[in-house]
Chains A and B, each alone.
Chain A
Amino acid sequence: GENVEQHPSTLSVQEGDSAVIKCTYSDSASNYFPWYKQELGKRPQLIIDIRSNVGEKKDQRIAVTLNKTAKHFSLHITETQPEDSAVYFCAARGNTGTASKLTFGTGTRLQVTL
């Protein structure tokens, strides 16, 4: 089955700096890669996603890049703000046919300091 690795496990940046979180996946047939943000005590929420026919997608201060050849994808947050502090999860969906199940990375705890 699919295996997703995520790095780093913790990341501390100063307000205004950029943050990058990287993930690799194992199943070359995977075709959908979402990112979730989980604030303390809350449910994970989808913040951005990318499909395998696209190399990059941007939404205001966040962007995701995908390198299918290398089987890795990254989340980029620019001009970080304290409210960006959260745990971020990457995920990949294999092309298995049933139920669109996602395999998640182990998460990155992002701390934005003043």
Chain B
Amino acid sequence: DVKVTQSSRYLVKRTGEKVFLECVQDMDHENMFWYRQDPGLGLRLIYFSYDVKMKEKGDIPEGYSVSREKKERFSLILESASTNQTSMYLCASSHGQGYTFGSGTRLTVV
């Protein structure tokens, strides 16, 4: 089974902090994604990457950046955390069609 591992299950950060969310997959997938999940809004795409050092904006990229220096690792960066970025963050990887998701990181910004 493909494993997608997110480094933290829960995080609490202060407003203005720089926050790093890490995601690692072990199946050599080309494509990796970051979504945020909010009640009533479903899963919204923040950024995705289809190759090392390649990245594309999703539907809600404002306030976020990403890094993909190695194929297996895709990092989401909150440059200056704000309270409206309190959410569940889900990483996913894909070889073609369906996704495999990580367990999620619940981030609270206070």
Contact = CB atoms under 8 A, between A and B. Distances in A.
Interface stretch (A69-77, A78-86, A99-107): A99-107
A26 to B, nearest CB: 13
Interface stretch (A14-22, A41-49, A53-61): A41-49
Contacts, number: 59
Interface string B37-73: 0001111110011100000101100000000000000
B41 A49 contact: no
Contact of B42 (A89, A93, A99, A100): A89
Nearest to B35: A104
A93 B92 CA distance: 15
A106 B41 contact: yes
Interface in A86-114: 89, 93, 98-107
B interface SS class: strand
Contacts of A34: 97-99
Given A9-B40, A43-B104, A44-B90, A99 B97 contact: no
Given A1-B59, A34-B98, A44-B101, A100 B31 contact: yes
A94 to B, nearest CB: 12
A46 B42 contact: no
A107 B56 contact: no
Interface in B1-48: 30-31, 33, 35, 40-45, 48
Interface in B89-110: 90, 94, 96-104
A99 B51 CA distance: 9
Given A44-B90, A46-B99, A100-B97, A89 B43 contact: yes
Nearest to B4: A43
Interface of A: 1, 6, 9, 32, 34, 36, 42-46, 49, 89, 93, 98-107
